[in-house]
Amino acid sequence: MKRSNLTLVSYSSSDEEDIAQEMPPKAPPMKKRKLPPLSSSIVTPGPVDNPALHQGRIRTTPHVDGQFAAHVYVSLPLGRHSLLYKVVQAILCDAKEAIPTLHEIWTTEPVSQRPELHISLSRPIFLRAHQREDLKRAVKNIAKAHKAFIVSFAILSELINDEKTRTFLTMEVGAGHHELRSLANSLAPAIEAVRQQAYYVKPRFHASIAWALPNNRPGTSGPLPVASDGTYGPCATEGIRVPPSNPNSPITGTDVFPTIACFPPEVITTLNERYGSELSSPKVGAFTVESITLKIGKDMISWNLTGM
């Protein structure tokens, strides 16, 4: 049988060709389009640290979004007809006559607003949002474990804050110091748990009633006045210049705020001689601490001391 003389022809894979033809060519990558900026009407501006808007005071801790300033204290509301309120007003009147740059801690306007004295149980505390509830629970539990007690004021003194940005005229606590220290010590673990500094090891519990700007504070234009013998000069009222931190502030140029080098020692001595006996009198400077208050941002919560 004669073999047929067929020629084998090799063909390329038609299936592969069909697949290649059916797949569309790759499109070029799309360019990312930038979103238009948000309207200024819906953007909340961050707080501006401008001493010119706050009587020369400066922010000691920079603002951080999502962070809340907190403070634990004992509150003493004062009736405008109470003996303690009248004594405090007389002290302030004499103190401002000697040191005109003093600012009262509380505002006297509107008249309907009831002035308060605060005795701190903590330094300023700075919390993240998720830490607020833990601190609330801790303060509530501390209130349950302590009972009400009597506090009275003893003497007037000058105290300056840690950052040396303000100096204060204060009324220091006499009776009740032990109980206040117990509250502050009970707070320490909760405060240290959020990596904040607890209250002072040797606290001087007090209520501040007035403040002034010291002229040797950080960020001011000049140091304390120094005499020719190398000692500090007299505690006279001077002035510091604080440029606005925000160039777009409505207050422009350089603003001058009156300051003092220190409280003249004779002023504190004279005030204690005039008002010390009244201030320390049980009828005037004594009151019952029945609750403690936690302030977080603008929110304030108080718990009654219910311990037995």
Cis peptide before 244 (omega within 30 of 0): no
Q: Average pLDDT for residues 235-248, to the nearest whole number?
A: 42
Q: Which two tokens stand for residue 8?
A: 């084998």
Domains, the chain, ordered by start: 66-215+257-304 (3.90.1140.10)
DSSP character for 214?
Answer: B
The helix (run of H) or strand (run of E) holding residue 96 is helix 83-98
**What is the pLDDT confidence band of residue 79, given thresholds at 50, 70 and 90?**
confident
pLDDT at 96 over 90: yes
CA 14, CA 298: separation in Å to the nearest integer? 77
- Torsion over CA of 86, 89, 91 and 96, rounded to 10 degrees? -160
User: Looking at residue 241, what is its pLDDT?
Assistant: 39
Share of the chain above pLDDT 70, in %: 63
Note the residue count of the chain: 308
Question: Distances from the Cα of 274 to the Cαs of 14, 268, 277, in angstroms?
Answer: 112, 10, 8
Q: Average pLDDT for residues 47-56, to the nearest whole number?
A: 45
The b-or-e profile of 242-276 (16+ CB within 10 A means b, else e) is: bbbeeeeeeeeeebebbbbbbbbeebbeebbeebb
Q: Average pLDDT for residues 88-93, to the nearest whole number?
A: 95
Q: Which two tokens stand for residue 29?
A: 């990558």
**What is the pLDDT confidence band of residue 216, given thresholds at 50, 70 and 90?**
low
**What is the pLDDT confidence band of residue 166, given thresholds at 50, 70 and 90?**
confident
User: Looking at residue 26, what is its pLDDT?
Assistant: 62
User: Looking at residue 242, what is its pLDDT?
Assistant: 41
Alpha-carbon torsion 269, 270, 275, 281, what sign? positive
Q: Average pLDDT for residues 263-277, to the nearest whole number?
A: 93
User: Looking at residue 36, what is its pLDDT?
Assistant: 65
CA 297, CA 30: separation in Å to the nearest integer? 46
Q: Average pLDDT for residues 219-239, to the nearest whole number?
A: 37
Q: Average pLDDT for residues 45-60, to the nearest whole number?
A: 47
CA atoms within 13 A on the CB side of 128: 4
